[in-house]
Structure 1
Amino acid sequence: MLGRGRAGGILAAMTSSPGSASPFSRIKIRVGALVFCGDEVALIRRDRPEASHFVPPGGNVEPGEDLLAALRRELAEELDLAPSQAGEPELLWVIDQMVSRPGTTPPPRKLHLIYRLQIPPEVRDTLAAQEYDEVPGGHEIGLIQWVDHRTTANLPVFPPIGPALAALPSPFAALPDASLPAVTDDNYVWV
């Protein structure tokens, strides 16, 4: 028998169900893409009864999946964008998220890796106009909107990159630091 000491705590942590985990004890990685066509960027608008918000195309990295493979998979699923149709993805920002949210499952800590890439207008014309996100009991439709990146400062974008995106002097301006401020309960309320 392990008892109540350190080994007992480790055993309890290893055998506890996901619902009994403490907040932010799990880490997920989400890849997202700022797909630029000129000065405009593709964002997915999700309309919900309580509010609308925007997200860059992307999603969670599956266990054992390569980061760029996950990004390519998500872009194919959400925009119908093939890797050969776009420039090489470049890591732009990293955002650490520890935000409480409604529900019975403790929220994970999430690292958002935001890449940027450029496509020509002829590719943009072939991309999806809607994105279908699986949710319990069905799917949620997101609308793909092309927005001038300089106008995103006050848009409800998650992760909250709107001000940083609007401040880019050009879609491919070099940046001195890839780290954006952490998203926590002190500076964000879950929508």
Structure 2
Amino acid sequence: MTDPTTPFARVKIRTGALVFCGADVALIRRDRPAGSHDTPPGGNPDGTSEPGVIEWVHYRDAEDLPLFPLIGSAISALPAPGAPPGDRLLLPVTDANYTWV
């Protein structure tokens, strides 16, 4: 575990974007031996890549997908595609609310 009192020079984050086509949103499905998970299109913080399949899914169905980060409920709650999001704060990702694959 990293010592929380040690200063750091950079923070690694994964950036992603929601891409809509009508009411469908583009997600990348990655199949792994332990199961599949979906992510929005974006880059890994370390510059690596991982193969996946782009799927177009109705944005209201995103809540039921194994989506990482946990944005499925926020996407599904949009009143319409392209509508501004309401509460932008998401729940933290924990072992209780996400199955790690």
Quickly name the TM-score band, shorter chain normalised.
0.7 to 0.9
Query: CA shift at 1:184, angstroms?
Result: 2.5
| Alignment length (residue pairs) | 97
Q: Which 10-residue stretch deviates more, 45-54 or 26-35?
A: 26-35
Superposed CA offset, 1:58-113 (max 9, x none): 12457xxxxxxxxxxx9xxxxxxxxxxxxxxxxxxxxxxxxxxxxxxxxxxxxxxx
Partner of 2:16: 32
Partner of residue 176, structure 1: 86
3-state SS in 1 of match to 2:13: strand
Higher helix share: 1
Between Structure 1 and Structure 2, whose CA radius of gyration is higher?
1
Question: What amino acid is aligned across from residue 2 of structure 2 in structure 1?
Answer: S
The secondary structure found in structure 2 opposite 1:29 is coil
Indicate the structure whose relative CO is greater, using CA pairs within 8 Å and at least 6 residues apart.
Answer: 1
Find the residue that maps to 2:74 and give its secondary structure: helix
- For residues 1-43 of structure 1, the C-alpha deviation after alignment (integer angstroms, 9 at most, x for no partner) is xxxxxxxxxxxxxxxxxxxx52887732111011111111110
Q: Does 1:44 align with 2:24?
A: no
Counterparts of 2:12 and 2:72, CA distance in 1: 22
CA distance in 2, matches of 1:159, 1:35: 15
1:1-191 map, 5 Å: 21-22=1-2, 27-61=11-45, 134=49, 140-191=50-101
Residue 167 of structure 1 and its aligned partner are, at CA, apart by: 1.5
Change (3 A) 1:23 1:166: farther
**Structure 2 unmatched runs, 5+:** none
Cα deviation, residue 186, structure 1 = 3.9
Unaligned runs of 5+ in 1: 1-20, 63-73, 75-132, 135-139
**More strand as a share of residues:** 1
TM-score in terms of structure 1 length? 0.44
What is the alpha-carbon distance in structure 2 between the residues aligned to residue 22 and residue 170 of structure 1? Answer: 41
Q: 2-side partners of 1:48 and 1:183: how far apart?
A: 19
Q: CA deviation at 1:142?
A: 0.4
